[in-house]
């Protein structure tokens, strides 16, 4: 595949190995493996990370079918946090459009904003919903353990807000001239949905001048908890993997009931900084019941907005990325587009 950026020379912190919880370490005498998490990655004793999937990238372009344009921008020079922007084709070049800030999935460890599946999905969504989209490329664990991805994502959110009427320091022409900052949404899938939720929590607690966060779109959100619920009881191996991945991504976490992983444990939940939430779940996804539980916890918290869950029958985790033309994926794309409008 085409490499759109020179390899990032982010320093690998070998201390991540020694900081990992003991229960996820492996005998490294012969293999030198510290954590083996197929099909995602392997982490070696010397700090080397071998990603097994999610390493391909595609360049920005103007899509010949939809007319959607895309480009890459650097958000923060110091951390190399960047983003891919998508601008749909419209009949009125002066029309202000809703904005979707999107956070990609991959267990906080794999994929990027430039991965083919995410480029294609955001391209399709920008065209279908007629929205400007910003796909955030945050630093990934385990080289950059959580909460780095949360901090990077908030940096990107603030950079985007700098283009609003209250900002004035932003220099990107698309964001300055084509975005209606009264109609802003956060979204993401899997780990990215987790990030989208926490960015909305931060908007609620800290505010975001010049931006009206209308709602969030959470697709198959990667949430957890110490005690298994629903279908997790029938797939304890899957539950163990989800918990182990969280510990690799966030070695200093308090565990599976960390409020960053289990929203029901967060005292700030009622302060979610938007009034509309839509959660997509898949019937065969291990994380299905966590999506339903999220809605229940949100409503129980006293949050004053409206939340809905949409379930896709007979589907598994992030099916829409890998089979985007199937009936359920097309229906979900249209449902997201309707939510954004």
* 189-200 residue pLDDT tens: 999 999 999 999
Spot the catalytic one: 163, 198, 317, 320.
317
How large is the average pLDDT for residues 119-136?
98
What DSSP string runs through 184-218?
EEEEEETHHHHHHHHHHHHHHHH--TT--EEEEEE
Q: What is the mean pLDDT of residues 309-333?
A: 98
Compute CA distances 1 → 62, 73, 134, 195, whole Å.
Answer: 17, 20, 22, 28
**Which is catalytic among the residues 70, 285, 289, 320?**
285
197 is annotated as an active-site residue: no
Percentage of residues in the chain with pLDDT exceeding 90? 87
pLDDT above 90 (res 28): no
| Alpha carbons 132 and 67: distance in angstroms, whole number | 13
Global model pTM greater than 0.85: yes
pLDDT at 8 over 90: no
- Please tell me the predicted confidence (pLDDT) of residue 6: 36
The verdict on whether 253 is a catalytic residue reads no
| Residue of 147, 157, 149 whose CA lies nearest to 216 | 157
Percentage of the chain exceeding pLDDT 70: 91
Of 190, 243, 256, 320, the catalytic one is: 190
pLDDT in tens, 29-46: 336 899 999 999 999 999
153 is catalytic: no
């Amino acid at each position: 595949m085409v490499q759109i950026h020179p390899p990032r020379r982010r320093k690998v912190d070998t201390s991540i190995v020694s900081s990992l919880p003991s229960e996820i370490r492996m005998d490294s005498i012969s293999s030198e493996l510290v954590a083996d998490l197929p099909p995602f990655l392997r982490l070696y004793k010397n700090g080397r990370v071998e990603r097994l999937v999610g390493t391909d990238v595609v360049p920005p372009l103007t899509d010949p079918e939809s007319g959607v344009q895309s480009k890459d921008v650097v958000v923060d020079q110091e951390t190399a946090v960047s983003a891919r922007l998508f601008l749909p084709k419209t009949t009125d070049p002066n029309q202000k459009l809703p904005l979707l800030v999107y956070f990609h999935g991959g267990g906080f460890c794999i994929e990027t904003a430039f991965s083919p599946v995410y480029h294609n999905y955001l391209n399709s969504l920008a065209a279908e919903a007629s929205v400007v989209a910003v796909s955030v490329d945050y630093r990934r664990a385990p080289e950059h353990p959580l909460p780095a991805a949360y901090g990077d994502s908030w940096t990107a959110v603030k950079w985007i807000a700098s283009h609003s009427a209250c900002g004035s320091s932003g220099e990107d022409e698309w964001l300055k001239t084509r975005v209606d900052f009264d109609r802003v949404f956060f979204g993401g899938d899997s780990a990215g949905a987790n990030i989208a939720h926490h960015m909305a929590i931060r908007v609620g607690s800290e505010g975001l001048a010049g931006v009206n966060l209308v709602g969030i779109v959470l697709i198959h959100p990667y949430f957890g908890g110490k005690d298994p619920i629903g279908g997790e009881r029938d797939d304890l191996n899957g539950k163990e993997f989800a918990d182990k991945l969280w510990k690799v991504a966030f070695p200093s976490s308090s565990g599976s009931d960390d409020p960053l992983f289990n929203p029901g444990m967060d005292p700030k939940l009622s302060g979610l900084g938007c009034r509309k939430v839509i959660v997509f779940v898949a019937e065969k996804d291990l994380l299905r019941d966590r999506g339903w539980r999220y809605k229940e916890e949100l409503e129980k918290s006293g949050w004053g907005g409206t939340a809905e869950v949409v379930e896709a029958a007979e589907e598994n985790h992030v099916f829409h990325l890998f089979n985007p033309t199937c009936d359920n994926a097309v229906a979900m794309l249209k449902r997201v587009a309707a939510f954004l409008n």
